[in-house]
Structure 1
Amino acid sequence: MTTPQTPQPYEIRVIGAEATPLRDLYHLLLRHRWSVTFAFIAAAFLFANALFATIYVFTGGVAHARPGSFADAFSFSVQTMGTIGYGVMYPETPLANALVAGESIVGLILVALFTGLVFAKFSRPTARIKFSVKATISPMNGVPTLTFRLGNARSNQIVSATVRATFVRTETTTEGKIFYRMLDLKLVRDCMPSLSRAWNPMHVIDADSPLRGATPESLAASEAELMVLVVGLDDTSMQQVHASYRYFAHEIVFGARHADVLTETPDGAMELDLRRFHELEPTVPTQDFPFPRRSDAASPGVEKTA
C-alpha cells in the first residue's frame, strides 16, 4: 500500500529586499540562540585583539616582547584590553602608549556593548506557549466547529490571555489577479483570565463563517492556513508575552476532536494528563457533516478509540 504524502506548505521567496545585517545586528543577536550570541562576542573580542596585535607587531615598542612575534603581541593586547597587566610586557615608546590608550577605550566600549546585549537578551520576556500540532473541525452541539488547543508550558500563569484567529486563503479577483485574503474568525471565547496548561478556543462555522462549506480539498486548493496569535501578561515577570502559530491546510483535520486531558479520578480529584495534549479522537459522521470519510481514515494524528 502506498503511504500518502503529506502536502508541504507553500514557500514565499523574498526578492529585492534590502540587506542591512549590520544595521539590524542588535535585533539579530537578540533573536538568535545564546550560542550564536556568545560566538559573536568571542569572535568580536578575538578580532579586536588580533587587529591591535597586528599593529603592535609592525610598530613595536612593547618591552620584553619578541620582535615580530604575533603571539607575544596578541598576549599583550589581551592583557591591555582586559585590564589584566601582568607586568612582564608593557609599552615603552610614545606610540605604544598611544595605542594602549586607544585599545583601552575600545575595550571599555566593547565591554559596555556586550554587557548591555547579554542583559537585554537575558531579561527579554519569552512565552513558552504550546500549540497542538493539529486543528480540528467536528460537530459541537450539532454545528461544525473549528477547534485548536494551546497551553502554557511553564508552571506559572499568563493573565488576561487574549487569542486571535485569522483564516487566510488565496482568491482570484474578476480581473484575474491572485489576492491573499485574511479573514478574522469570531471565537466563542477569545479571552482567558488566567491561562495555564490547556485551553481549546473554538470557532463556530455558521452561516457567517468564512469556513462555511469548507472541505479538505477546498482548503488545499485555496492554500488556506489558520494563523493564531496569543498575547498575555506573565504573572512572574509582569511583562507582556506573545506567541503565534500557523496551521496549514493539511494540518486541519475534519471529523476529529482533541482528546480530553482533564478527567476526574475515582477519588474525586481532577487529573490533567498532558500526554494527550496532541491526541485526536475521530467523531461520528452525520448527514450534515460526513466526516471523517473512509478516505480520511488514515489521517495522521487521529487515534482510533474503541
Structure 2
Amino acid sequence: MAKKIKDPGLGHNSKKNIKGIVNKDGSSNVIHLNKKFNIDDLYTFFIELTWWQFFLFVLLGYTLLNIVFGFVYMAIGIEEITPSRGNFLDDFLNGFFFSAQTLTTVGYGGIAPQGVTANLIAAFEAMIGLLSFSFITGLLYGRFSKAKAAIHFSDNVLLRDFKEHRAIMFRLMNSRKTVMIEPEITVTLSINEKNKEGEYKREFYRLKLERDKIMYLPTVWTIVHEIDDKSPLFKYSDKEIENLEAKLYALIQYHEESFGQKVYQITSYDFSEDLKSGVKYTPSFSFDEEGFTVLDHDNLDEVTRMN
C-alpha cells in the first residue's frame, strides 16, 4: 500500500491540467502578485540573470549614464569643458565622451573641465563611476563564486518492464569533469485526480528508489523506482500511467569539488509530456582502445525499443 506524505508546500487544492510548480531547469513556475519591492532583492536579481542579460544591463546602464551627463554638460554650457563646435551633435558627442572618460576615471587629457560648475559635476560623476564599477565588480565575483550544481538530467522519463515488475526511471550526469561526491536524490510524485465530489486534488508520495544515495558518480546515474505493490503507481496500467496527470519532482544534492561545499539542483517531469514507454536507455559511456572510459553527453536521452 502506497503511503502518502504531507503536503511538501505545493498545496492539495488543484484543477484540471494544472501547471507544475517547478520547471525542468529548476526555476520556480509561480506567478507572484502584489509582491513588494525590496532594495535587498537587487543583488539576487542581478545574480540570477543570465550572462547575456547581465552584460546587457551593464552596457545599457553605462550608456544611459553617459547620455544623462552628456546632456548635463550641454546644459551648463559645453564651453565649460571644451570649445563649442557650433552644432548640437558634435557638442553632445564631446560631452558624452568626456562623461565616459570621467565615469571610468580614464582622463585622456584632451578635454578638461574649466569652471567650478563643470568641476563639481565631474567630481560627482567620478564618484558615481567608482561606486558603479565597485558594484559591478562585486556582482561579477558573486556570479563566479556562487556555488552551483551542474547536473544534466535526461529530457525523458521512461516506463518499462523491470525485473518482475515495471519501473519508471530517468538519468542524470555531471556536466563538469569533476566527480560528484556522495550524491543523494529525493523524488516526489504528485498525482492530480478528480475525487467523488468532482473536485481535483493532488496527492503526494515520496518514491522508494532502487538507490537514493551513492558514494561518488563519475559517469551516469539511472534513477529507478520499481512499481511494486507498495508503489502509488501499482494500481494503474501502462496506458493509465501515460494518461495520468502526474509530475515528478527530483532534488539532488552532492559535494562539489570546484566550490568545496554541498550544492543542490531540482528538476521536474510531466508524465503527459516527458513519459516514454516500452523503450530503454542506450549506454552513454564506452571504452576506447587504451581502456579509458569515454562519456558521451549527447547520448543521455537516447533510447531504443525493448525487445
Give the TM-score normalised by the residue count of structure 1.
0.78
Q: Tell me how far apart the structure 2 counterparts of residues 86 and 272 of structure 1 sit (CA, whole Å).
A: 54
The superposition leaves residues 127-180 of structure 1 with CA deviations (integer Å, 9 ceiling, x where unpaired) of: 332222222233332122222111112221111111111111213345443223
Letter in 2 for 1:80: T
Higher relative contact order (CA 8 A, sep 6+): 2
Q: Tell me how far apart the structure 2 counterparts of residues 113 and 254 of structure 1 sit (CA, whole Å).
A: 51
Letter in 1 for 2:46: L
What is residue 66 of structure 2 aligned with on the other side?
49
**Deviation of the 1:85 alpha carbon:** 1.9
Q: Unpaired runs of 5+ in structure 2? A: 1-16, 21-28
Q: Tell me how far apart the structure 1 counterparts of residues 180 and 56 of structure 2 sit (CA, whole Å).
A: 33
What is residue 160 of structure 1 aligned with on the other side?
182
Change (3 A) 1:282 1:108: same
* Contact residue 193 and residue 245 of structure 2 kept, 8 A: no
* Contact residue 65 and residue 73 of structure 1 kept, 8 A: no
1:63 and 2:81 equivalent? Answer: yes
* Contact residue 279 and residue 304 of structure 2 kept, 8 A: yes
Q: 2:191 aligns with which of 169, 172, 189?
A: 169
What is residue 115 of structure 1 aligned with on the other side?
137
Change (3 A) 1:268 1:82: closer
What is residue 279 of structure 2 aligned with on the other side?
256
**Deviation of the 1:279 alpha carbon:** 2.7
Letter in 1 for 2:277: F
1:208-287 equivalence runs, <5 A: 208-250=230-272, 251-261=274-284, 269=291, 271-272=293-294, 274=296, 276-283=299-306
**Deviation of the 1:38 alpha carbon:** 1.0
Letter in 2 for 1:48: L
Change (3 A) 1:56 1:264: closer
What is residue 166 of structure 2 aligned with on the other side?
144
Change (3 A) 1:276 1:106: closer
**Deviation of the 1:216 alpha carbon:** 4.6
Letter in 1 for 2:259: S
How many residues were matched structurally? 275
Q: Tell me how far apart the structure 2 counterparts of residues 270 and 139 of structure 1 sit (CA, whole Å).
A: 32
**Deviation of the 1:261 alpha carbon:** 4.2
What is residue 194 of structure 1 aligned with on the other side?
216
**Deviation of the 1:242 alpha carbon:** 2.5
Q: 1:17 aligns with which of 29, 33, 47?
A: 33
1:77 and 2:104 equivalent? Answer: no
The superposition leaves residues 63-108 of structure 1 with CA deviations (integer Å, 9 ceiling, x where unpaired) of: 3242762111111111111112222322222222221121111111
1:27 and 2:44 equivalent? Answer: yes
* Contact residue 250 and residue 268 of structure 2 kept, 8 A: yes
**Deviation of the 1:270 alpha carbon:** 7.4
What is residue 93 of structure 1 aligned with on the other side?
115
* Contact residue 153 and residue 197 of structure 1 kept, 8 A: no
Letter in 2 for 1:145: A
Q: 1:132 aligns with which of 141, 145, 154?
A: 154
Q: Unpaired runs of 5+ in structure 1? A: 1-8, 285-306
Q: Tell me how far apart the structure 2 counterparts of residues 34 and 263 of structure 1 sit (CA, whole Å).
A: 34
**Deviation of the 1:27 alpha carbon:** 2.5
Q: Tell me how far apart the structure 1 counterparts of residues 258 and 32 of structure 2 sit (CA, whole Å).
A: 42
Q: Secondary structure at the match of 2:234?
A: coil
Q: Tell me how far apart the structure 2 counterparts of residues 231 and 260 of structure 1 sit (CA, whole Å).
A: 24
